[in-house]
Structure 1
Amino acid sequence: MPINADYRGPGELPEIIPVFPLPGALLLPRGQMPLNIFEPRYLAMVDDALRDGHRLIGMIQPDISHTRDEARPELFRVGCVGRITQLAESGDGRYILELTGVARFKVIEEIAALTAYRQCKVDFFPYADDFVARKGEEEVDRTALLDVLNDFLKANNLKVDWEGIESAPNEALVNALAMMSPYGPAEKQAMLEAPDLKTRAEILIAVTEMDLAKKGTSGDTGLQ
């Protein structure tokens, strides 16, 4: 995990964090998420995160189904905070950065902030296990996961580095596949909120199997 800070528990993270609402974006502990930042409010968010020293940004999905104001959508109650571990300036006003996931959080409340970006008071304690790397990975059905991955690749005529996949620990494998999966916000949120790695893998397997079955029935094997 390319991260200098050593977060050993929920008490080492701030109670109030900036949040970046992004539909379909799934960040998980110790996963890496690339971001292309160009909106002025989020450029300011990155600047403030760096200036404050914590370098933390909370990734969270907007809850469109319960939103009345599209300009300020409701948020799901669970997100994942990440630390800025790579940052580059594009030369045209953008930031190209990478977040490394630290831990999930529950939103207690959104605060009335003076910043253009949104901030929330959050609770990391329900996800204290996120601070323990590779916890529960021995319970993952790796064979079933690789089988459904193979079916997905064949259905979409895709190739991957199987040597790299086979050498990856279960936590890294499950979380990377979940983050890269082509599914919608509801499925991504279900994987985010899974109580443990085993359940997250089971959700990913079930969603993929259902999607493959649906595409096979319709004669369209291309997942979008």
Structure 2
Amino acid sequence: MRLSIFPLGGVILFPGLQLPLHIFEPRYRAMVGDALARDRKIAMIQPQTSIEGAPLFQVGCVGKIVDVEAMEDGRFNLVLEGQSRFRLVRELDVTTPFRQVEATLIDDPENQVLSAVERAGFEREARSFANAQGYAVDWDSVGRLDDESLINGVSQIAPFDAAAKQALLEAPDLATRCELLVQLMQFFGRREGDDDGQVTLQ
């Protein structure tokens, strides 16, 4: 399928989750206008570097505009809701100011669940990570989330670098993503005084 893309480093979207965006660049304002006139779909994908026109990573997520506020100066505030991960086939040669790609949708399993041991291990590591970073978390609300909402939600908002977030997005299933997320929290959660003496959070 043909997709209009919003290449944004450090930002990923998962199916079923929402992502608020503020659109101000003219080319992306044109992209939103085009999406609203057609199917309301925009594809989020990370560029491999911050250089203009940089090559793209291979996996992204198609989002549908579920809420939009058009401002008088042409900017937009919108909310994208993830629909499906996709795999890049090739970038298209287009005349539009925004980039477009050919892609295939990834058929993710529905209603994936973790084992009790996996869930407990994740929550334990998440508490440790949050405490080390000084985050305030409503753990009662966390406990009521289903496994997919919890793991994908943390993956989407976690303060990791672009490569780490991409690895989470590309994980083939929920259990693999959970295991990787635990490893990343252990790695990125190091504070000054640990072995390398570096804080690696962005």
TM-score for both structures, normalised by structure 1: 0.83
Alpha-carbon offset, residue 76 of structure 1? 0.8
Q: Which residue of 2 aligns with 1:86?
A: 67
Distance apart, 1:89 and its partner CA: 2.3
Residue 136 of structure 2 is aligned to residue 159 of structure 1: yes
The answer to whether the aligner puts 1:129 opposite 2:108 as a matched pair is yes
What is the SS of the residue equivalent to 2:93? coil
Structure 2 CA distance for partners of 1:222 and 1:158, relative to 1, 3 Å? farther
For structure 2, the residue ranges without an aligned partner over 5 or more in a row are: none
Matching residue of 1:33: 19
Check the 8 A contact 1:156/1:222 in 2, yes or no.
Answer: no
Find the counterpart in structure 2 of residue 117 from structure 1: 98
Structure 1 range deviating more: 113-122 or 206-215: 206-215
Identity %: 38
What per-residue deviation string (whole Å, max 9, x for no partner) do you get for residues 51-73 of structure 1?
A: 01x11111000012xx8xx3211
Secondary structure of residue in 2 paired with 1:27: coil
Judge which range, 72-81 or 82-91, deviates more.
82-91
Contact 1:81 1:101 in 2 (8 A): yes
Counterpart residue type for residue 154 of structure 1: N
- The aligned residue for residue 7 of structure 1 is none
Distance 1:105 1:216, change over 3 A: farther
CA distance in 1, matches of 2:188, 2:96: 41
Using the TM superposition, give the Cα deviation of residue 149 of structure 1 relative to its aligned residue in structure 2, in angstroms. Answer: 1.1
Structure 1 residue 56 corresponds to structure 2 residue 56: no
Q: Give the equivalent residue in structure 2 for 1:138.
A: 114
Task: Single out whichever of 70-79 and 90-99 deviates more from structure 2.
Answer: 90-99
Q: Which has the higher helix share?
A: 1
**Against the structure 1 CA distance between its residues 89 and 148, is the aligned structure 2 distance closer, same or farther, given a 3 Å change threshold?**
same
* Residues 1:100 and 2:78 aligned together: no
Q: CA deviation at 1:175?
A: 0.7
Cα pair 1:137 1:171 within 8 Å, conserved: yes
CA contact (8 A) 2:42 2:62 kept: yes
C-alpha separation in 1, matches of 2:159 and 2:144: 23
CA contact (8 A) 1:30 1:100 kept: yes
Deviation at 1:28, TM superposition (A): 0.8
Quick check: 2:5–2:101 contact (8 Å CA) kept in 1?
yes
What is the rounded CA distance, in whole Å, between the counterparts of 1:102 and 1:30 in structure 2? 6
1:113 positional shift: 1.1
Question: Is contact 1:62–1:74 with CA below 8 Å preserved after alignment?
Answer: yes
Unmatched tracts of structure 1, length 5 or more: 1-14
Q: 1:219 to 1:45 in 2, by over 3 A?
A: same
Matches of 2:95 and 2:199, distance apart in 1: 48
What are the within-5 Å matches in structure 2 for residues 16-27 of structure 1?
16-27=2-13
Kindly report the root-mean-square deviation, in angstroms, between the aligned alpha carbons of the 2 structures. Answer: 1.9
Q: Distance in 2 between matches of 1:21 and 1:165?
A: 30
Q: Matched residue pairs, number?
A: 200
